[in-house]
Amino acid sequence: MKLTDAEVVQKLADLNTDTRRSWQLVDGKLKKQFEFGSFILAFAFMTKVAMLAETLNHHPEWSNVYGRVVIELITHEINAISEKDFILAARIEAMAV
């Protein structure tokens, strides 16, 4: 179910309570850039996220260049941000620590 703009703003604030977190709302998607010390570390992170995404049946849009991974989340079925996106973002954060 599509979240209202107010719900998205509140959930984004809740997600970003830790100052190291920097999820943003960009072009109607949740977006964050992660930095790792090497391609291998970035790829290992992506592998963990891929396994999680399969488990949740909710898949990110992402890109990888060397140690950088950019993740964008949107619920494609409704072409909007839903609770699924915030659940996945929070779980991704837990993996990135």
Active-site option among 7, 76, 83, 93: 76
Active-site option among 7, 59, 72, 93: 59
> Is 58 labeled as catalytic in the residue annotation?
yes
Active-site option among 35, 61, 77, 83: 77
Of 85, 80, 46, residue with least CA distance to 63? 46
Q: Name every residue whose Cβ is closer than 8 Å to that of residue 88 and which is 6 or more positions away in sequence.
A: 52, 53, 56, 58, 60, 73
> Is 61 labeled as catalytic in the residue annotation?
no
> Is 76 labeled as catalytic in the residue annotation?
yes
Active-site option among 14, 35, 54, 61: 54
> Is 35 labeled as catalytic in the residue annotation?
no
Active site residues: 54, 58-59, 76-77, 85
